[in-house]
Amino acid sequence: MPEETKSATPLEDKIVTTQHSLMLRGKKLEYTARAGTIVLRDEKEKDGVSEGNQDQAQLFFVAYTLNGVKDLGSRPITFCFNGGPGSSSVWLHMGVFGPRRVVMGDAGALLPAPFGLEDNPQTMLEHSDMVFIDPVGTGFSRVAQGGKAKDFYGFTRDIESVGDFIRLFVSRDGRWLSPKFLAGESYGTTRASGLAGYLQERHGMYLNGITLVSTVLDFSTIRFSLGNDLPHTLYLPAFAATAYYHGVTRGASLETHLRQAEEFAQGAYMSALFKGHRLEGNDQTRVVREVARLTGVSRDFVERSNLRLEIMRFCKELLRHKGLTVGRLDSRFTATDRDSAGETFEFDPSYAAIYGAYTAAFNQYVRSELGFETDTTYEILNFKVFQPWSYKEFENRYVNVSETLRKAMTMNPSLRVLVLNGYYDLATPYWASDYVFDHLGIPQHLRENLETKYYQAGHMMYVHQESLEQMATDIKGFIGRSVPSNKKRKT
């Protein structure tokens, strides 16, 4: 598609409304689903005089509202999205939050295509209305004819467009007095933290809570670049968890093994990396031995890696003796490559395991049950968005939105944050997330507004049944604690 063409007729919203019901613990929940696109427009002004609105983009969404609610001011609403950049909201939608869920199995017990759909007993519908947002370039969301894709494929414009959609939706649905929540996964946690600031400072919209699933707020904690030793220390506990899961290392329990890895990483290991070539002799031998013991790779591999284990090399190396690679998004998953001697895997086993199931389920669901008909491709994960993604605001430094979140929590001292981590997540490891929140810089009295939970699963921890159930319980409890008492009393 040409980057810039003349616009034809103005775009119109296209929204389909359907009615549904769900049996939840013997209780029938009746709800309304809306699926469709809302047109974002830019109001042009010159010398304070409006020159009309120009179409910018169509954002696709799916919204669920519980029927029979008389006082919307007491009913929470949660806006959900995933990350990438370039990912649709299908993962949180069909994995944990929505009323329908993908049937795909789990690591070691995957179901074959064509997969399936089922009612989701863990859905948040009983506790909150929900809106799933696909940012521009993902799902069915597209730039308007005559617009420029590059205007949306970047840090600031992404936050602004999603934030403007939320303002528009809240205004049209009369939800300004409803308790409002965000839920983001992966880069969606970066977006959510940026939105907390943007919604407050641009639109005066104060949030009650933010759920961060598989968090990355400071990219220096996950970028394996020359001279940055931080990721090597922060990934070590996740490497140790992976080795423990696959039986390469032994220990009294996973928790004990992780505590040992954390203590070593923030102590002797961090000190060793800091010393560089000054580390030698017995001191180096001890560090090499402990890294190998905790992570399950050989001492020789640790030495040849200059003590610094990198994610892709680790995924390939851990089970090389079995001809297997482990997943990046979820290291419980394994697969085989053509070349067992390579330095990195051909594909991520965990992404390959879930991609087909979620794609098939949503494409069927949105048309057959939600009634949204289109020949447009639903972009589950659009790498064309990711490749030109602009971080110009962070030129010559790492992307970091932790300060934005800190300021938002300080300006709005009632804002609560729930952080959810998977032990087997090698994309956004749990200890890197812990490190960021340990350095957030909020005052002592606001630290009570931070909650952190851990699960024995990976990046999409909801594909693991036990983690899904606990995750749902944790989020529902968080929503309940984050709604003001005066809202709770209204019926």
- Judged by DSSP in three states, 413 sits in coil
- Peptide bond between residue 429 and the one before it cis (omega within 30 degrees of 0): no
pLDDT for 164 equals 96
Q: For 333-368, how does the pLDDT look when each residue is reduced to its tens digit (9 = 90+)?
A: 999 999 888 889 999 999 999 999 999 999 999 999
pLDDT for 134 equals 98
| CA-wise closest residue to 85 among 219, 245, 206 | 219
Phi then psi dihedrals of residue 381, to 5 deg: -145, 110
| Interacting residues of 485 by C-beta distance below 8 A, sequence separation 6+ | none
Q: How many CB atoms lie within 10 A of CB 278?
A: 9
CB neighbour burial string for 31-59, b if at least 16 within 10 angstroms, e if fewer: bebbbbbbbbbeeeeeeeeeeeeebbbbb
Alpha helices in 18-154 (DSSP H): 90-92
DSSP codes, 261-295: HHHHIIIIIHHHHHHGGG--HHHHHHHHHHHHHHH
Measure the CA angle with vertex 265, ends 474 and 279; round to 5°.
Answer: 170
Q: For 18-34, how does the pLDDT look when each residue is reduced to its tens digit (9 = 90+)?
A: 999 999 888 999 999 99
pLDDT for 117 equals 95
Sign for the pseudo-dihedral over CA of 408, 180, 18, 124: positive
Using an 8 Å Cβ cutoff, are 186 and 391 in contact? no
- Indicate the Cα dihedral angle 460, 232, 269, 283, nearest 10°: 140
pLDDT for 487 equals 59
pLDDT for 463 equals 96
* Tokens representing residue 18 in the block: 């359907």
- Measured between alpha carbons, how far is 90 from 68 in angstroms, rounded to an integer? 27
pLDDT for 8 equals 57
pLDDT below 70 — which residues of the chain? Answer: 1-8, 44-53, 486-491
| CA-wise closest residue to 64 among 143, 13, 120, 140 | 120
- Peptide bond between residue 85 and the one before it cis (omega within 30 degrees of 0): yes
Using an 8 Å Cβ cutoff, are 372 and 37 in contact? no
- Measured between alpha carbons, how far is 30 from 68 in angstroms, rounded to an integer? 8
State the chain's maximal CA–CA distance in angstroms.
Answer: 75
Taken in order of first residue, the domains within the chain and their CATH numbers are 14-220+354-488 (3.40.50.1820), 224-349 (no CATH)
- Measured between alpha carbons, how far is 311 from 231 in angstroms, rounded to an integer? 9
pLDDT for 145 equals 84
- Measured between alpha carbons, how far is 257 from 238 in angstroms, rounded to an integer? 11
DSSP 115: -
Phi then psi dihedrals of residue 326, to 5 deg: -110, 160
- Measured between alpha carbons, how far is 2 from 22 in angstroms, rounded to an integer? 45
| Interacting residues of 391 by C-beta distance below 8 A, sequence separation 6+ | 154, 155, 399
Residues linked to residue 118 through DSSP beta bridges, in sequence order: 101
